[in-house]
Structure 1
Amino acid sequence: MTTFFQKKVDRRSRSAMVGFLQGHFRYDTMSSWNRLTSYANNIKFHRLGLSSSQDDKAYELLGVDYWDDIRSPIDDFTYEQGHRYTMGSNGRSSGYLVLHDSHLELTGHLSYCPTCSQRNFKKVPPVTFQDNNEKVIAQEILKSQNSWLPKVYLGQSTIQDLSISDDEKFSLIIRLKSQLADCSLSNACGVCGNPRSNFSVPPSRLMVANKSIDQGEDFCAEDWSMGSLRDRVELVCAFDAACDSVRSNFINLLDDYDVVEITEHRPVQVKKLVAHAA
């Protein structure tokens, strides 16, 4: 891959690393009025070093949704950085790639519907229980949404009718309340009614911070050791490399594909008068 944004930086030289970080292009992380900036690269067509024919074809792409075809290096960068950093586009025409702080946050969903993909904040309850005692107590806990104190369940007629002792009932109630925490009464999807499944790994989403990174930072200060400077240079160089990969993907798109106009027919619902059947 041809390097375009990447620069060689002597990691043995403090002055070289400081000069690289201080001299790197920066852009807004939000709107310009916030005055918050971070490391960035300009990816507007006329700043990508395109040939004349590539430049002409690039402008033919205006109005074509091609971003998903070239953005995979951003996801790779985010993953390689442990989701602590990511990249986002900014500017009126999304002409800049900007480095952002980020982190993963659990969505809170505990189950999903394999049929319609609807997510749910409740888990699917267990299908089977060891015996009828467990089943009866579990049903009472689920019906009450696990909201009562253990002693309240002992007063339920269905639980009173069980043939085991109150001490055994109480122990079961304590254990099942813990096991059934966050469970819904049934496994039915609230949208389509089909059975839900529990997530094996709770889903998370990437939260992107729009705060500045190193804005006005004094890299000559004592708290910036050689090790911390190298770490920051590695991060920014990895960001530049990802920008190079996005650029390469875009150029490959220009070289390998043509923009053509096609006519798509979509169904449209209209109202018409229809005579009564004889």
Structure 2
Amino acid sequence: MTNSFWAKKVDRRSRSAMVDFLRDHYCYNTMNSWNGASSYAHCIKIHRLGLTSEQSDKAYDMLDTDFWEEIRWPINEFTDSQNGFYTIGTNGRSGGYLVLYESRFEITGHLSYCPSCGQRNFKKVPPTFEDANEQVMAQEILKSRNAWQLGVYLSQPSIEALPLSNDEKLSTITRLKALLVDCSLTDACGVCGKPRRNFSTPPVQLAVYPGKGIDHGEAFDAEEWSMEALRERVDLVCAFDAACDQIRHNFIALLIGYDVVEETVHRPVTVKVLRERTV
């Protein structure tokens, strides 16, 4: 279990204990000082992490590496535990603060993706139809981007040639137009050309609101803050503290388990050269 560095035990039976905890918690400006808003935070500058002198020396070297992705997973866990309504972000000129932010998951609008290259698309992959007549009409609808009036489709040679009455064609076209809304002409990926797939559930992305302060200047008076509301806020801030503790723990684990070494990396460079013609 991670040793507590910032996290504290708070008596949730006592209003005064909870209010004191929230009021005394360190806060940081969510954007700039003139923004007039702040939120719960922790300073994660190296000299404020409680490191040994040896760990501190190593930590400064580690700042030149891509170490952050190795230690940030508690942020994802915290965000998921809060159903996306809160997250943790870095702030300050050198990212020296962890700050509690408001956030929310928003649907991206992508309807399909390419399993091969990962490219997302705002159009769905069109369905295939076993009925040959439906397939012909579907292709005409897709080629027109579903934009024509019903009668226009009847005049298309491929649809005119179908062995169906006009009423049957109109009924089918009406049904297919509704089915093919937001579909592309083919399933081909626009980047690599390989088949796309439709998302089974709409993908979401996290929208963060760093400019919004949380409890900035809040008095936590009894008229506006019930005991239940105070407990919920204390639970949130305590979860934030615990996540920050875990991030610090992860960073120290890197300092203990890894050394920073220099490597020479050769990267390919594209240049123009002369090449003799072959007959």
- Secondary structure of 2:245's counterpart equals helix
Q: 1:175 to 1:25 in 2, by over 3 A?
A: same
- Counterparts of 1:228 and 1:220 in 2: how far apart (Å)? 11
Q: Give the aligned partner of residue 115 of structure 1.
A: 116
1:48 maps to 2:49: yes
Structure 1 unpaired stretches of 5+: none
- Counterparts of 1:82 and 1:70 in 2: how far apart (Å)? 21
Q: CA offsets, 1:46-101, max 9 Å, x none?
A: 11111121111111212111000000000000011101110000001101000011
- Counterparts of 1:223 and 1:215 in 2: how far apart (Å)? 15
**Matched residue count:** 277
- Counterparts of 1:152 and 1:275 in 2: how far apart (Å)? 58
Q: Give the aligned partner of residue 205 of structure 1.
A: 205
- Counterparts of 1:235 and 1:85 in 2: how far apart (Å)? 9
- Per-residue deviation at 1:38? 0.7
- Counterparts of 2:276 and 2:118 in 1: how far apart (Å)? 41
Q: Give the aligned partner of residue 69 of structure 1.
A: 70
- Per-residue deviation at 1:277? 5.9
- Counterparts of 1:43 and 1:63 in 2: how far apart (Å)? 16
Q: Give the aligned partner of residue 18 of structure 1.
A: 19
- Per-residue deviation at 1:276? 5.5
- Counterparts of 1:101 and 1:63 in 2: how far apart (Å)? 30
- Per-residue deviation at 1:229? 0.4
1:175 maps to 2:175: yes
Q: Give the aligned partner of residue 150 of structure 1.
A: 150
- Counterparts of 1:194 and 1:69 in 2: how far apart (Å)? 33
Q: Normalising by the residue count of structure 1, what TM-score does the alignment of the two structures yield?
A: 0.94
- Per-residue deviation at 1:274? 4.8
Which amino acid in the other structure matches residue 270 of structure 2? Q
- Counterparts of 2:67 and 2:21 in 1: how far apart (Å)? 32
- Counterparts of 1:63 and 1:17 in 2: how far apart (Å)? 40
- Secondary structure of 2:83's counterpart equals coil
Which stretch shows the higher mean deviation, 239-248 or 55-64? 55-64
- Per-residue deviation at 1:133? 1.6
Q: Give the aligned partner of residue 104 of structure 2.
A: 103
Q: Give the aligned partner of residue 244 of structure 1.
A: 245
- Counterparts of 1:269 and 1:58 in 2: how far apart (Å)? 36
- Per-residue deviation at 1:33? 2.8
1:91 maps to 2:92: yes
- Counterparts of 1:272 and 1:120 in 2: how far apart (Å)? 38
Q: CA offsets, 1:195-221, max 9 Å, x none?
A: 211122221110001211111222014
- Secondary structure of 1:247's counterpart equals helix
Which amino acid in the other structure matches residue 132 of structure 2? N
Q: Give the aligned partner of residue 27 of structure 1.
A: 28
- Per-residue deviation at 1:115? 2.0
Which stretch shows the higher mean deviation, 159-168 or 58-67? 159-168
Q: 1:30 to 1:160 in 2, by over 3 A?
A: same
- Counterparts of 1:130 and 1:276 in 2: how far apart (Å)? 53
Q: Give the aligned partner of residue 192 of structure 1.
A: 192
Which amino acid in the other structure matches residue 165 of structure 1? S
Aligned identity (percent) is 62
- Per-residue deviation at 1:167? 2.3
- Per-residue deviation at 1:110? 1.0
Q: CA offsets, 1:145-166, max 9 Å, x none?
A: 1112334323333223322222
- Counterparts of 1:111 and 1:231 in 2: how far apart (Å)? 38
- Secondary structure of 2:255's counterpart equals helix
Q: 1:155 to 1:208 in 2, by over 3 A?
A: same
Which amino acid in the other structure matches residue 248 of structure 2? R
- Counterparts of 1:11 and 1:176 in 2: how far apart (Å)? 59
Q: Give the aligned partner of residue 255 of structure 1.
A: 256
- Counterparts of 1:276 and 1:227 in 2: how far apart (Å)? 82
Which amino acid in the other structure matches residue 161 of structure 2? D
- Secondary structure of 1:152's counterpart equals helix
Give every structure 1 segment of 4 or more consecutive aligned residues whose post-TM-superposition deviation is greater than 6 Å. none
- Counterparts of 1:71 and 1:198 in 2: how far apart (Å)? 30
- Counterparts of 1:60 and 1:188 in 2: how far apart (Å)? 47
Which stretch shows the higher mean deviation, 187-196 or 239-248? 187-196
